[in-house]
């Protein structure tokens, strides 16, 4: 089993899409090992996305992620990182495959409904950023 971090971003939570996205997650065979609803501060969003600090989208990304509540989860499944990224679809919903979460629920490349870890080391950092070991079941 592998774990990955998943976030239902503020746009999807505000748009009342979280329940349908959770249904897709569970229907795809993931087990939710931890979950919390949180409203990130700008500083927390900047810490989480620090790897992107030099990129031109950093400011707008962190502002967006601090704009409202997000549902943060640890998902578990065989090959969870790849499986979740496939289910999410391309970052740009216009380029996402039919049937993916971003194709169905995302508004734009920046307001793209979900986040997922891209590699095992990233998943370890991201999970640890939000959840203490005792919170994982």
Please list the active-site residues: 115
3-class SS letters over the chain? CEEEEEEECHHHHHCCCHHHHHHHHHHCCCEEEEEEEECCCHHHHHHHCHHHCCCCCHHHHHHHHCCCCEEEEEEEECCHHHHHHHHHCCCCCCCCCCCCHHHHHCCCCCCCCEEECCCHHHHHHHHHHHCCHHHCC
């Amino acid at each position: 089993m592998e774990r990955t971090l998943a976030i239902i971003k503020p746009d999807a939570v505000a748009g009342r899409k979280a329940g349908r996205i959770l249904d897709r997650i569970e229907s795809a065979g993931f087990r939710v090992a931890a979950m919390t609803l949180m409203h990130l501060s700008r500083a927390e969003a900047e810490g989480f996305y620090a790897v992107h600090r030099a990129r031109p989208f950093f400011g707008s990304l962190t502002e967006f992620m601090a704009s409202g509540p997000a549902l943060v989860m640890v998902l578990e499944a065989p090959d969870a990182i790849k499986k979740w990224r496939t289910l999410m679809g391309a970052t740009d919903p216009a380029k996402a495959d039919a049937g993916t979460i971003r194709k169905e629920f995302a508004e734009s490349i920046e307001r793209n409904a979900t986040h997922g870890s891209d590699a095992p080391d990233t998943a370890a950092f991201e999970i640890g950023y939000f959840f203490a070991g005792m919170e994982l079941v």
